[in-house]
Structure 1
């Protein structure tokens, strides 16, 4: 595969995500979102000779285009109801001046924008594209998209809902609470049945975004946004560390099937330990970073009165530990008769690309294990810097 175009798409998508995190007018939001989306479609189908990659990019393109259309339809209602304003704060002022902040058009805008953002964040029931895209896309692309899209669209969601729709906060809170509960329950339960590591992580990420929504819903009360940013930071390292391990294993064996990891500890103890640590951190096992991130996120949600959301999140976090431990059990199997042919023929190879992947894995491993220890300054920075 050609590398130049690949790097160009990656850098363009990253730049679009940065613009999306700071966009304050509808035109910039749309251009940045579409730039991120188009690069994501191209990246997911980059291995064009792979049938699964072609299927993934086709589903991603069709569903992503539909979600963008619905999102822009909602934004167009805001533009019209506010009297032709495109800046977010001016839209609020325009809605007040035109007395349209309680009109039926606002509910259409809320629902359309929620549906559009739900597709981008892989919220249930708008998640149908996610497992196929995760399985068919190149693994480095999946690792990039799994964190970039969530961070950028979460920042967009906080800006749209908190600035524009503060008139109807109870309504969009209810919508997001329903989507968060559905995502946490469906994502974690369906992850039980998966045989592919990437599909399992796809459904795991659906459950994870359900946890992150707790911070968005309680953003203005009891440090909700700070808890969201803190957990998002931890999630980036946990997820990228897991994908780095999967990339290394797939490069050396050519498979990403969960059962093919059986006995990996006997051949590559460090890779097995790194994968186990990142998975346990995703599950929220103390004293890893994921535990402290979830604890702070759930505590802020509980103080804000989201008892049902937090209770569901706690229960599903315990459930999620089961399928993470199932993988770890396979990793540490030492009986030779249970080791798969892929692990029996496993060879440690050294190359520049693999060395960089190993370095990334080590950085993410250290962060996933130790970031919880320095959580107080991270929370302080998040509280000070999250300003609209």
Structure 2
């Protein structure tokens, strides 16, 4: 009799949970329609891979690219709708979050054609690669709209797990295995630190997990200026710092950039920063509203360290990918200026504008590196000497992208940096802006050093890799180079 009653209670509880989940999906599912398109694309990829042979490779590319493009389209159609909070407060939809989601989708869409030739030459498993790309994109999109501590933790873990698998995708490569191990260990440690910071925030607010409710809880408990909030701020900054990779949380970045497959590096170098920036703006602005002076100071220190160390160490690098790793550390220092300025003085607008330009500059550079690496098998900066004599189009493409990263006019990077620095100056961040200007000039030095090598015509300086370089036609099938420049 007791067992029968318990069984009935279990059935009732299960039915209640199922109905609640169905209600959420039915009424809130439309608010995550772009994410649902990606989920459908993932299911379709699995179905095609399990029911067909290798001849359907073009279909796999088509489905993944179409899913991303359709998701972008759905996102654009939703633009200017009223902000909505769904799934019991776990997810928020507004124009600000959708901009970051658009940037992540754009990165993923561009990374797929960038990886086609690399996958063909290295014979990497295609289906799993595309699955990890789409799943990481999905995690990044959910992170952009996360409205509570649990979602802010789970969404980046979804992204991070796929990132670990992608970075170690060439498992026979010793450097790739080493990079993945470091990435995994440091990622696990940073997640633990982040959760510890969340626990302090949760306790100080009286058990609240939604971001706005945490603020209300801190007011009710009078804990908004307590030592617990300062501890939470430090731990959360360190945890988010791993995703943004500013100095001194950058130790994993050079090894992962150097050891991972180049298309994977191109994907991680932009999507992780976009998703982490979206999360950082919400976490610092809402729960730590009463500690703005403290987190401004913390981020200013991180920005200064990133801009100085990133650009100084980049000068000494001999590997192209390691140089770009340290360059990206300097670039995130510029982005942090926009986060500090905030919604006032167009700080967020300048940050988003610079990120959009950074996506094109960075992916364009990596597109050229992918093609050069496949044709020569080297990543050494010295081996790029004389590339212009063999492949003018590739050399000019790489030179333009590097000059734009350095911020030379009239390229996109110049206008992005000017807008960012102007907003910082208007907000009174004079020292940060001066450091940014000086380090930008410093970065131009090592970019011009590479461009000088590219354009050299002296035979004694041209390496065997370029002498034996396979000439490509002017209108190459690798049109991804041209699309990146545009």
TM-score above 0.5: yes
2:151 corresponds to: 28
1:360 is aligned to 2:480? yes
Q: Does the residue aligned with 2:288 lie in a helix, a strand or coil?
A: helix
TM (norm. structure 2) is 0.73
Contact kept, 8 Å, 1:183 with 1:207, in 2: the verdict is yes
- Give 1:359 deviation, angstroms: 2.6
Deviations 1:338-360 (A, max 9, x none): 1111101111468xxx83xx332
2:217 corresponds to: 94
- Give 1:278 deviation, angstroms: 0.3
1:37 corresponds to: 160
Deviations 1:203-255 (A, max 9, x none): 00000000000000001321000000000100010000000000000011111
Deviations 1:88-118 (A, max 9, x none): 1111111111111111110011000111111
Separation of aligned partners in 2, 1:76 and 1:33: 17
Separation of aligned partners in 2, 1:203 and 1:96: 41
Contact kept, 8 Å, 1:262 with 1:330, in 2: the verdict is yes
Contact kept, 8 Å, 2:167 with 2:179, in 1: the verdict is yes
> Which of 266, 283, 287 does residue 143 from structure 1 map onto?
266
Task: Report which stretch shifted further, 91-100 or 236-245.
Answer: 91-100
TM (norm. structure 1) is 0.92
Kindly report which structure 2 residues correspond to 1:303-314, keeping only aligned pairs within 5 A, or say none.
303-314=426-437
RCO higher in structure (CA 8 A, sep ≥6): 1
Contact kept, 8 Å, 2:391 with 2:472, in 1: the verdict is no
Separation of aligned partners in 1, 2:387 and 2:352: 34
Separation of aligned partners in 2, 1:307 and 1:47: 45
Aligned alpha-carbon RMSD (Å): 1.0
Deviations 1:243-282 (A, max 9, x none): 0000000011111110000000000000000000000000
Contact kept, 8 Å, 1:82 with 1:92, in 2: the verdict is yes
- Give 1:72 deviation, angstroms: 1.0
Equivalent residues, number: 361
1:379 corresponds to: none
Deviations 1:316-372 (A, max 9, x none): 00000000000000000011221111101111468xxx83xx332212211xxxxxx
1:199 corresponds to: 322
Q: State the 4+ residue runs in structure 1 displaced beyond 3 angstroms.
A: none
In structure 2, the CA distance between the partners of 1:19 and 1:348, relative to structure 1 (3 Å rule), is farther
Q: Structure 2: state its 5+ residue gaps.
A: 1-123
Separation of aligned partners in 2, 1:280 and 1:316: 14
Separation of aligned partners in 1, 2:145 and 2:197: 20
> Which of 226, 231, 235 does residue 112 from structure 1 map onto?
235
Kindly report which structure 2 residues correspond to 1:314-329, keeping only aligned pairs within 5 A, or say none.
314-329=437-452
1:12 is aligned to 2:135? yes
Contact kept, 8 Å, 1:252 with 1:349, in 2: the verdict is no
1:217 corresponds to: 340
Q: Structure 1: state its 5+ residue gaps.
A: 367-388
1:296 is aligned to 2:416? no
1:375 corresponds to: none
Bigger radius of gyration: 2
Q: Does the residue aligned with 1:164 lie in a helix, a strand or coil?
A: coil
> Which of 382, 391, 402 does residue 279 from structure 1 map onto?
402
